[in-house]
Structure 1
Amino acid sequence: MKPEKLRQLTPEELEARVRDLRNQVFNLRIKHSTGQLENAAGLRVTRRDLARVLTVQNERSRAE
């Protein structure tokens, strides 16, 4: 998701997105370690999405 769209979300929506992405990363890591993950790039994309959301949250907390 683009940072511009993330900045339009409410803090509660951002927090929900963080929880969801962390859960996805956890599941993808388990699949990767057991050899069930076919597309390893999905893990990288999910981690980067999580970093984007956390960056927007951090920007807001520093602005306050």
Structure 2
Amino acid sequence: MKAADVRAKTLDELNDDLAALKKEQFNLRFQKATGQIERTARVKEVRRDIARIKTIAAEKSAGKKA
């Protein structure tokens, strides 16, 4: 997910995406623990996407308050 794509979304859409990514992260952790994970790099991608969404959501909410 690119930062430009994330910036184009509303806060509600960002929260929905964040919830979906956290679910995926949870499932990936279980797959890793049981040895069923196929794309190990996906764990890193999801973690970075979560951080990217949180950062941009914080910027947007701070921009509304200012």
**TM-score, normalized by length of structure 2?**
0.88
Matched residue type, 1:14: L
1:46 aligns with 2:46: yes
1:28-58, Cα deviation, whole Å (9 max, x unpaired): 0000011111221111111111111111011
Unmatched 5+ residue regions in structure 1?
Answer: none
Q: 1:3-50, CA deviations, whole angstroms, 9 ceiling, x for partnerless residues? A: 112111011100000000000000000000111112211111111111
- One-letter code aligned to 1:58: A
Give me the CA root mean square deviation.
0.9
The share of aligned pairs that are identical, in percent, is 38
Structure 2 residues without counterparts, runs of 5 or longer: none
Q: Does residue 33 of structure 2 align to residue 57 of structure 1?
A: no
Instruction: Kindly indicate whether residue 42 of structure 2 is the aligned counterpart of residue 32 of structure 1.
Output: no
Structure 2 distance, partners of 1:45, 1:53, is: 12
Q: Determine helix, strand or coil for the equivalent of 2:47.
A: helix
TM-score, normalization by structure 1:
0.91
Moved over 3 A (4+): none
Counterpart CA distance in 2 for 1:15 and 1:50 is 10
